[in-house]
Structure 1
Amino acid sequence: MTSEKTFDAQSLICVECGCPIEKLFKIFSNGASRLAICKYCKKDVDKYVEYDAMALFVDLLLHKAAAYRHWLFNSQVNFHWRLTAIGCLSDAYARHYNTNLSVSGQNDYFKLELRYYYYFIISTILFILSFQLMYRIVVYLPTLTTYKQRDRKIVVRGLLLANFGKLFILCAAIWGRIPTSERSDLELSTVYLYMISLLVICSNAEAIMVLLESSYIMAICITVSVMIIKNCIGFLLERVIPLDAFERFMLSLS
């Protein structure tokens, strides 16, 4: 059984149908307990409370809505801020890694460090802007439509946790350096990074679908639109604040 703390009854839902429930377990007179049965879909309200954490993680990778409902509503996860920090660091490393691969004979480690700081600032700004945009869509869209209105704390946690796929950038940094006879390190790494980007888009769409109780097509449209805006702003940021100007400014301070 997972070691996560359960929420209060007001936020509990059935992971199969998404309907609100009063409790996860039914307690019998002899002290025994078993999973409660949802009165709407007649299934166990949350099978994941008896699952191992790794089994839950696999279902999250498979984008099962039930796993996301458990993660967002029926479990207390308090590492979403740490996950966000690691995600920003990983995203910055991916940007720096791709740029660094195209540079041959680079021995100035101080400049390489400055480059990482530059891309970390860019990645953090882009994450804040994209998160704010997605948060406001999820919070205010239900006021204009029939989509489900959620508690804002759950929305924040859900949108932050949905970026867990960025952690795989660390794996891409390791395995992307493996040389092959057919393709270069840069090409191999790019494939990994595109796959990770697709995973992040799909996980964000799944989280939005669960939060709003919308169709998957609508969730994909919201996610892709935000990602396009994010990439456009990133393109403009790198033109307004070019890397060379940032390096000269930082070197002038040293």
Structure 2
Amino acid sequence: MEPGRYICINCCQEMDSLYRTYAGGNIRLTQCSKCKHVVDKYVEYDIVLVVIDLILQYIGAYRHLLLNAEHVAFHKLAIIFALCDAYNKWMFRRAQVENGKMFDLEWTFYECFAQSALEMLSFFLIILALNYRQNTCTNSMQLMLTSICIGYYGNVFVVLSIIWHLHTKWSYRALTQLFILISHIQVQRSKFFY
């Protein structure tokens, strides 16, 4: 384990470990030397509780996921989030056209997916350009891609639109976009503001 590999989710102090393992498989969470809080309480949380804290927009949950979590396939999540966004756009367009042919509906979905992927790429390039002059250790390309991917997790709310037929409701669409915007702001705050 490399020194300074982990970050305290409270004060962003670099730490060597998140916990210590003792005999019998017992663990003890590491205390931060700077703020005296537990370095990362989310280490012992179930993923469902982490997701709930992400929905509640807790910066500590974002820092855990961005800086301390291991083995998260963010590239797969990015594809899922883009597909969810494309499906949401496709459902909205489909509701506006009554008798579309199957080929036209399929082509429209591909257009929506291309639009979603282009929006994500544009957002990434804008964030990269805005952060270009920052000389912080958190400014790596991988972290930038990961943080942008995490900000789009609100796109999975399309499942709610499927269950309750909300895709044509302006309130659902506005709240989803507002949630995604707030998520992106929180992700950037978790990286750069201590």
Q: Return the TM-score normalized by structure 2.
A: 0.88
Aligned equivalents of 1:91, 1:168: Cα separation in 2:
9
Q: CA deviation at 1:27?
A: 5.1
**Does the aligned pair in 2 maintain the 1:135–1:159 contact within 8 Å?**
no
| Larger CA deviation: 18-27 vs 36-45 | 18-27
**Does the aligned pair in 2 maintain the 1:172–1:193 contact within 8 Å?**
no
Q: Which runs of 5+ in 2 are unaligned?
A: none
Residue 182 of structure 2 aligns to which amino acid in structure 1? C
Residue 124 of structure 2 aligns to which amino acid in structure 1? F
Q: CA deviation at 1:127?
A: 1.7
Q: Equivalent residue for 2:176?
A: 196
Q: Equivalent residue for 1:133?
A: 126
Q: Which runs of 5+ in 1 are unaligned?
A: 1-6, 178-184, 215-254
Larger radius of gyration: 1
Aligned equivalents of 2:96, 2:32: Cα separation in 1:
56
Q: 1:116 is matched with which residue: 109, 114, 119?
A: 109
Aligned equivalents of 2:91, 2:6: Cα separation in 1:
42
Q: Equivalent residue for 2:17?
A: 23
Cα distance change on mapping 1:192 and 1:9 into 2, 3 Å: farther
**Does the aligned pair in 1 maintain the 2:5–2:17 contact within 8 Å?**
no
Q: Equivalent residue for 1:93?
A: 87
Aligned equivalents of 1:213, 1:149: Cα separation in 2:
13
- What is the number of equivalent residue pairs in this alignment? 193
Counting only pairs closer than 5 Å after superposition, residues 167-182 of structure 1 correspond to structure 2 as: 167-176=156-165
Percent identity, aligned pairs only, is 25
**Does the aligned pair in 1 maintain the 2:9–2:64 contact within 8 Å?**
yes
Q: Return the TM-score normalized by structure 1.
A: 0.69
Cα distance change on mapping 1:84 and 1:168 into 2, 3 Å: same
Aligned equivalents of 1:114, 1:74: Cα separation in 2:
40
Aligned equivalents of 1:28, 1:86: Cα separation in 2:
39
Aligned equivalents of 1:167, 1:53: Cα separation in 2:
16
Q: CA deviation at 1:47?
A: 0.8
Q: CA deviation at 1:33?
A: 3.6
Q: CA deviation at 1:98?
A: 1.3
Q: CA deviation at 1:191?
A: 1.8
Q: Equivalent residue for 2:168?
A: 186
Higher RCO (CA 8 Å, separation ≥ 6 residues): 2
Q: Deviations over 1:55-109 (max 9, x none)?
A: 11100111111111111111114321111111211222222211221223x0411
Q: Equivalent residue for 1:142?
A: 134
Q: Equivalent residue for 2:185?
A: 205
Q: CA RMSD in A?
A: 2.3
**Does the aligned pair in 2 maintain the 1:71–1:77 contact within 8 Å?**
no
